[in-house]
Chains A and B, each alone.
Chain A
Amino acid sequence: MAEFVMPQLGADMSVGKLIAWRKKPGDTVTRGDIIADVETDKADIEVEVFTGGVIVKFLVQPGDKVPVGTVLAIIREEGKPVAEVAPSTMPSIAVPRLAEGPAPSKPLVERAEPVRLRISPAAKKLAADLGIDASTVSGTGPAGRILREDIERAAAAKAAQPVLTEVVSDRQARMRQAIASAMARSKREIPHYYLSTTIDMSRVMQWLADENLKRSIENRVLYAVLLIKAVALALREVPELNSTWLDGRATPHSDINVGVAISLRGGGLVAPCLHNTDRQSIDDLMKNFLDLVKRARAGTLRSSELSDATITVTSLGEQGVETVFGIIYPPQVALVGFGKVVERPWSAEGQVVSRPTMIATLSGDHRVTDGHRGGLFIAAVDRLLQELGEL
């Protein structure tokens, strides 16, 4: 028997609202099937299932807002007997702490507890009196139990931010809050180090111009795709950067899934990933990048796209930015920033010439890597962009 839980789609997500089920009890699902639509502060997400089997039961109904880790459905894995899903062994709702601490590596599930929040009766009554949603409050009591004092603090914080709370139902405001939460956590917990290098882009720009001349409009390539591919291949050379920081240690990943910061029209951003970035051809990467941006802006991203990245690429050159000093998106361990392509004096073969150049930066988590390995990584990005044949 497997539990399908409310996934944590990024460090800035603590609760999710089930919008709709895409399947029904009795349906057979395979890994990767979209089973539900979930609303987060940032977007509506198509949530995939990671265990194949038969859906036994739904525990949460559309419209319910539940903490990350809450069991939403029970799935009987293929080959497992029906008896395993007897009511006595039904799992309970997970009750993760909604504190701003490190994200859990996997949803916390309190098997011995009934399906409810850990909250004292006094705190529960006070929350109701003050209009506080207890599921969004961090508990400071034993095992994350929400105490009366926690509710009082939440109420005081709410009162101190009247403007923000008045528009909390607005997606933009909630997105801003979510980003603020994740970035504040990053700055508080991650010891960033920063490296930069200036990359000669003349070969890249010439290759792109020649290549796009041969292509129809629909098959043209954006240079951002070459940058993303170079980052993915450089991760093979410095695999420590292909990790996440969870439970106080670095967890290496075998697949390379590069996240891409995508600004949303009207404000805010999301950073979904392109799965298996290193193994995709430039053409496939371009096609999938177009699709990803389109879906990010339409609000139809998939859960795995928001949870599988180990590194994010952000390119702000089109906004005129020369150098990006990025903040790592936890639990990722690095962020690569690309600036504007600018003509600069460049020394080549004993002469100073004018070349299109771009400043690339790496923000690294010093708990996972040091400047030496980070330097090798950013040098690899540079080298790969000069040796376009490897991309």
Chain B
Amino acid sequence: MTKDQIEAIVLRTLRSIAPEADLSQIKPDVALRDQLDVDSMDFLNFMIGLHKELNVEIPEADYPQLATLNGCVAYLKRLEDKAERVGGNS
């Protein structure tokens, strides 16, 4: 999966959390919590949404790495690449 494809999934998931937000205005390196006024419940739902979309487990300790849009894409890309490597070696 490309970074663009992952970003599209992240944005789609965010849309379900903050339907009123204009996601085209999101600054990729600024915290999503600050831009979208999401609380811990919203963030948990965001994580659940990504889990369902991408079938990935994201430990709570890694949440800070997903604080921004770019952070989300980079983190999920690493997970994706790691999963592909493991799959390729098996």
Contact = CB atoms under 8 A, between A and B. Distances in A.
Interface in B38-66: 39-41, 44-45, 47-48, 51, 57-61
B29 interface: no
Contact of B57 (A216, A222, A263): A216
B47 A217 contact: yes
Q: Give the one of B39, B47, B48 with max A CB within 10 A.
A: B39
Interface size band for A: 10 to 19
A266 interface: yes
Contacts of A266: 20
A289 B44 CA distance: 12
A290 interface: yes
B30 interface: no
Q: A interface, by DSSP: helix, strand, loop or mixed? A: helix
28 contacts: A209-B60, A209-B61, A212-B60, A213-B60, A213-B61, A216-B51, A216-B57, A217-B47, A217-B51, A217-B58, A218-B48, A218-B51, A220-B44, A222-B40, A222-B41, A222-B44, A224-B41, A263-B39, A265-B18, A265-B19, A265-B20, A265-B37, A266-B20, A289-B41, A290-B44, A294-B45, A318-B39, A318-B40
Interface in A219-236: 220, 222, 224
Contacts of A216: 51, 57
Given A213-B60, A265-B20, A293 B48 contact: no
Nearest to A289: B41
Given A217-B51, A218-B51, A290 B41 contact: yes
A290 B44 CA distance: 10
A224 B39 CA distance: 11
A330 B44 CA distance: 32
Nearest to B51: A217
A213 B59 contact: yes
Nearest to A294: B45
Interface size band for B: 10 to 19
A217 B51 CA distance: 7
A204 to B, nearest CB: 14
A217 B57 contact: yes
B10 to A, nearest CB: 15
Contacts of B45: 290, 294
Interface string B18-42: 1110000000000000000101110
Contacts of A293: 41
B48 A217 contact: yes
Contacts of A224: 40-41
Interface in A130-174: none
A290 B39 CA distance: 12
A75 to B, nearest CB: 37
Nearest to A292: B41
Nearest to A216: B57
Contacts of B60: 209, 212-213, 220
Nearest to B17: A265
Contacts of A265: 18-20, 37
A288 to B, nearest CB: 13
A213 B44 CA distance: 14
A87 B58 CA distance: 64
Contacts of B58: 217
Nearest to A221: B44
A220 B62 CA distance: 14
Nearest to B39: A318
Nearest to A208: B60
Interface in A254-279: 263, 265-266
